[in-house]
Amino acid sequence: MITARQSRAARALLGWNQETLADKALVSLTALKRVESESGLGVHESTRDQVRRALEEAGIVLLNSDQGEGVMIVRKDRQRQTVRA
């Protein structure tokens, strides 16, 4: 599951605004704002999933551990090198 913080951090790494992510995830801007809200607004799990998939397709890796959560970006050329190896 993607958290509000992860979504905002991933957008920052990609240089995307909310409109861009909403467009790429095929969700409404209102739905994305709910995903990124810290106020506990209800969000359909399918919406979170679409946002997660759009970010992952752009090279974002979501990190979750007992110590916290985070994101990192993997360069496309590195992904290709890993596949070839």
pLDDT tens column, 15-41: 999 999 999 999 999 999 999 998 877
Domain 4-84 CATH (choose: 1.10.167.10, 3.30.465.10, 1.50.10.20, 1.10.260.40) = 1.10.260.40
Confidence check: pLDDT of 75 > 90:
no
pLDDT tens column, 43-65: 999 999 999 999 999 999 999 99
The whole-number pLDDT of residue 15 equals: 97
The whole-number pLDDT of residue 78 equals: 55
Written as one string, the DSSP assignment of 32-72 is HHHHT-SS-----HHHHHHHHHHHHHTTEEEEEETTEEEEE
Structure tokens at 45: 């799990």
| Residues whose CB is less than 8 angstroms from the CB of residue 56 and which lie 6 or more positions away in sequence, other chains included | 62
Confidence check: pLDDT of 80 > 60:
no
